[in-house]
Amino acid sequence: MLALVQDGTPRLVHDYPSPRRAPGEALLRPRLVGLCDTDLQLARGYLGFRGVLGHEVVADVLEADDPTWVGRRVVTDINAGCGACADCLDAAGHHCAARSVLGILGRDGALAERFVMPERTLRRVPEQLTDEHAVFAEPLAAALHVLDELPTVSRAPCLVIGDGKLGLLTALALHAAGCPVTLIGHHRSKLDRIAALGIQTDLEQDFAPREKYAFVVEATGSEAGLASALAVTAPRGTLVLKTTTHGSITVDLAPLVIHEIRLVGSRCGDVNEALTWLAQIDPRPLIDARYPLARADQALEHAARRGTLKVLVSADA
């Protein structure tokens, strides 16, 4: 089958072996796949991943043990835990030590004609959501996950740093949840895409806040992001880190201690929750381009160009 494979450098492979469905797994045909910065990092060697790329996907179920899945349009939690450990039984298996992750860790992804995932990770897409909405379920879930770190009664002003895809989605999520949110970044063109929706935006170089923020999300994707985020987090505030960088970071943590700042890492969220929010969050202003699977290599190159937001790859030609 046709697949976009990372085997040192990402390339289109025409005779990649079709996946075999293990018991409990569903065989899926992608409808639409989104590219994100994680894919770009994996393409550059992050995590040493080898295999088919692609983890943000809306797909049709072709085969499953449970016949009620067959023919359904679904999205998937990308984490495939062992299904038996405490983390898998109590939570979603996002921290299962034996997990594989679709297109990221030990499991072929969705930039191919077929892929497989455990049936328990699948979530049915409501009919009223378009594929263009549903393909955002996974990244929006990651964005919504920052809401889990918000102090419950707080509607204090929030700051999101970084105008990449995840930063924009996070600002959309906080805005939809009723939080007064400011988004800062380096690209006026990107900021303008969501400024129109009533979200406060500012260029980072012009940003001079009168007060520090009690809730800050760092989504710059850059090594310098943590230090600048620390500088604008209020005493006893919360700083949520969304950036994973390939290299290691050197940062002065004294402000964290002095100002008693709570620093939290945040990765994947609940895709079911994201499907619900997608009824009121429209992520389509983030879409920049759409390519067929046969040109998925060019899609990846496009996604890597400066200033690009979401690039999609569709199953149809």
Structure-block tokens of residue 241: 């880190």
Rounded least distance, CB 216 to Zn ion, Å: 22
User: Read out DSSP for 228-285?
Assistant: HHHHTEEEEEEEEE----SS------HHHHHTT-EEEE-----HHHHHHHTTT---GG
From 85, 156, 227, 304, residue interacting with Zn ion (rule: CB under 5 A): 85
- Check if the beta carbon of residue 21 is closer than 8 Å to that of residue 65: no
Q: Which span sits near Zn ion by CB under 5 A: 80-88, 126-134, 185-193, 306-314?
A: 80-88
The 36-65 contact track toward Zn ion, x by CB under 5 A, reads x-x-----------------x---------
- 38 versus 100: smaller Cβ distance to Zn ion: 38
Q: Which of 10, 19, 30, 81 binds Zn ion (CB under 5 A)?
A: 81
* Cβ proximity of 240 and 217 under 8 Å: yes
Q: With b meaning 16 or more CB within 10 Å and e meaning fewer, what string describes 148-187?
A: eebeeeeebbbbbbbbbbbbbbbbbbbbbbebebbbbbbe
Residues 212-251 that bind Zn ion (CB under 5 A): none
Residue selected from 32, 64, 88, 219 as contacting Zn ion according to rule CB under 5 A: 88
CB of 43 to Zn ion, least distance (A): 12
CA–CA separation, 176 vs 178, rounded Å? 5
Distance CA 311, CA 220 (A): 19
Q: Which stretch binds Zn ion (CB under 5 A): 3-11, 75-83, 110-118, 184-192?
A: 75-83
Does 271 bind Zn ion (CB under 5 A)? Our answer is no
Residue 143 binding Zn ion, by CB under 5 A: no
Contact 135, 33 (CB under 8 A): yes
96 is a site residue for Zn ion (CB under 5 A): yes
How many Å apart are CA 57 and CA 34, to the nearest integer? 6
Of 82-90, 146-154, 157-165, 285-293, which segment contacts Zn ion by CB under 5 A? 82-90
| Contact pick of 82, 195, 264, 289 for Zn ion (by CB under 5 A) | 82
Tokens of 115: 């892929």
CB of 14 to Zn ion, least distance (A): 25
- Listed ranges 88-96, 117-125, 280-288, 289-297: which one lies at the site for Zn ion (CB under 5 A): 88-96
Q: Which residues contact 279 (CB under 8 A, 6 or more apart)?
A: 126, 128, 129
Residue closer to Zn ion by CB (options 92, 240) is 92
Q: Which is nearer to Zn ion, 116 or 214 (CB)?
A: 116
193's tokens: 């895409």
Give contact residues for Zn ion (rule: CB under 5 A). 36, 38, 56, 81-82, 85, 88, 96
